[in-house]
Chain A
Amino acid sequence: MKRGIAILYAFVFYPLLAAYTLAAVLVLTTVGAAGSLFVSRRENMRRFRRMIAWYGYGIVRGLARPVIRVVYESPARPPQTAKIFVSNHVASSDPFLVSLLPEATVQVVNLWPFKLPVWGLYARWAGYLNVRAMTPEAFHEAGARLLAEGASIVAFPEGTRAGDRPMGPFHSAVFRLALATRTPLVPMCITGNARSPARGSLLLEPATVRVRCLPELAWETFRDMSPFQLKTHVHRLIQQEVNRMRLPT
Chain B
Amino acid sequence: MTREEIVASINRVFEESFEIEPERLVPEANIFLDLELDSLDTVDLVVAIQKRFGVSIRDDERVRAIRTLNDVYAFIENIQKEQGA
Residues in chain A within 8 A of chain B (CB atoms): 136, 169-173, 176, 226-229, 232
Contact = CB atoms under 8 A, between A and B. Distances in A.
Nearest to A176: B40
B60 interface: no
Counting contact residues on chain B (CB < 8 A from A), the size range is: under 10
B51 to A, nearest CB: 14
A226 B14 CA distance: 12
A169 B38 CA distance: 9
B36 A232 contact: yes
Nearest to B38: A171
A172 B18 contact: no
A227 B37 CA distance: 10
Nearest to A168: B36
Interface of B: 17-19, 36-38, 40-41, 44
A227 B39 CA distance: 12
Most chain A beta-carbon neighbours within 10 Å: one of B17, B18, B38: B38
B36 A169 contact: yes
Contacts of A172: 38, 40-41
B19 A227 contact: no
The 7 closest A-B pairs by CB, nearest first: A169-B36, A228-B18, A171-B38, A172-B40, A228-B41, A229-B19, A172-B38
A160 to B, nearest CB: 13
A219 to B, nearest CB: 19
Nearest to B34: A169
A226 B17 contact: yes
Contacts of B44: 226-228
26 contacts: A136-B40, A169-B38, A170-B36, A170-B38, A171-B38, A171-B40, A172-B38, A172-B40, A172-B41, A173-B40, A176-B40, A226-B17, A226-B18, A226-B44, A227-B40, A227-B41, A227-B44, A228-B17, A228-B18, A228-B19, A228-B37, A228-B41, A229-B19, A232-B18, A232-B19, A232-B36
A229 B18 contact: yes
A226 B15 CA distance: 12
A159 to B, nearest CB: 9
Most chain A beta-carbon neighbours within 10 Å: one of B17, B19, B40: B40
B22 to A, nearest CB: 15
A176 B41 CA distance: 10
Nearest to B45: A228
A226 B36 CA distance: 14
A173 B39 CA distance: 10
B26 to A, nearest CB: 17
Contacts of B19: 228-229, 232
B4 to A, nearest CB: 26
Contacts of B41: 172, 227-228
B15 to A, nearest CB: 12
